[in-house]
Amino acid sequence: MKDFDITKNKQNLGKSLTRRVSVQHGFCVRRGDVQTWSFVLLFKCSAGRQFCAPKPARTQSPKTLVANKRMKVDSKSDSQKISSLFLDEEEVLICLYPFQKQVFADHFNWEANLKITYPLLSTISWKEISKEIGFNSMNRLAKGILELQEPFKTELKEFSELKKVDFPDYAADRIPPTILIPLIEYFQDNGMVEIRIMKMDRFPNSETRLVSFENKNQFEIYNEIKDAKALMAENDIKILIPDFDCPYAILSGSKETCADIVKICGIEFLKTNNRTQIDWWNQGEE
């Protein structure tokens, strides 16, 4: 099957075209350093969908997730638009990892038995934290979480210590259980019987496999998919981690289904448009 590379003439998808977009982003922080990574997305025009996640080196062969068109993007700028990673008709939402109240003793592994500990978890939204601390800005709060800028970094740290609140655990490179378990429950309630874990080259240890829901509760399913970097459900809903040390996941799919998911699952989200960057906290707030 021939590959489709997208140019300015997007509507002519029946012909083979080529576009390369160079983008660099610096939103991922580990040990205080801003890192730059390469994104490669491959879309193939077929009955299925091929979606290839970020890769660390251009010489590495891209692995693909399921997609409808084929597009290649070499990321080299922090002006990368989130919308460029998905089909035009898809809704794309930024799902924020929540803050959590400290309800367990230090060093207690509450994830070891979520069937018991999950009901005790208490989350706090970004909006609530931002308002209470006086930031009144998601962008400023993100810069504090990622330790990108003073005084937001210090003020948020002092506030969290005083109020006994834990930061969103973005360094774990996992979709948190407070988002993933409600998603599993949503999929089960809607009659889905399996979910596909997709490999992302950006994460060398990721894999592609199908996980059945049969005769399993939400916590057993969570234990099987908790390390997944990208998931695709039967209704073509996708949720993925954009990169290392990222405080949010991306949810995409039909507008109606995405709206239903964030409402029922209680997920705090930000809407995107064709101008929203991956490092959206460096943009002016609308």
Q: Give a three-class secondary structure readout of 191-256.
A: CCCEEEECCCCCCCCCCCEEEECCCCCHHHHHHHHCCCCEEEECCCCEEECCCCCCCEEEEEECHH
Alpha carbon distance 44, 42 (integer Å): 7
In the prediction, which pLDDT does 97 show?
A: 98
In the prediction, which pLDDT does 176 show?
A: 96
R_g of the chain computed on alpha carbons: 19
- The DSSP output letter for 40 is -
* 248-285 pLDDT tens trace: 999 999 999 999 999 999 999 999 988 888 889 988 76
Cα 40 to chain centroid distance, Å, stands at 16
Compute the residue count for the chain.
286
Alpha carbon distance 11, 13 (integer Å): 6
Alpha carbon distance 96, 179 (integer Å): 9
> Which residue has better confidence, 119 or 206?
119
Q: Residue 77: what residue type? A: S
Q: Are 196 and 231 in contact (CB under 8 A)?
A: yes
> Which residue has better confidence, 180 or 83?
180
Residue 116, judged by CB atoms within 10 A of its CB (0-12, 13-18, 19+), counts as exposed
Residues 59-75, mean pLDDT to the nearest whole number: 34
In the prediction, which pLDDT does 166 show?
A: 94
First-to-last C-alpha distance (Å) of the chain: 42
- Distance set, CA 258 to CA 94, 95, 193 (Å): 11, 11, 19
* 6-36 pLDDT tens trace: 333 434 433 333 333 333 333 444 433 333 3
Cis amide leading into 182 (omega within 30): no
Percent of the chain with pLDDT over 90: 56
- The DSSP output letter for 81 is B
> Which residue has better confidence, 235 or 209?
209
pLDDT at 61 over 90: no
pLDDT at 50 over 90: no
Cα 221 to chain centroid distance, Å, stands at 19
In the prediction, which pLDDT does 79 show?
A: 58
Q: How many CB atoms lie within 10 A of CB 9?
A: 10
Q: Which residue bears the tokens 């982003």? A: 25
pLDDT at 221 over 90: yes
* 95-147 pLDDT tens trace: 999 999 999 988 899 989 999 999 999 999 999 999 999 999 999 999 999 99
Residue (of 187, 182, 184, 170) closest to 249 by Cα position? 170
Q: What is the mean pLDDT of the chain?
A: 77
> Which residue has better confidence, 281 or 66?
281
Alpha carbon distance 6, 67 (integer Å): 14
| 191 token code pair | 């009659």
Residue 47, judged by CB atoms within 10 A of its CB (0-12, 13-18, 19+), counts as exposed
Q: Among the residues of the chain, which ranges form H helices?
A: 114-117, 126-133, 138-145, 152-163, 177-189, 218-225, 255-265
pLDDT at 156 over 60: yes
In the prediction, which pLDDT does 44 show?
A: 31
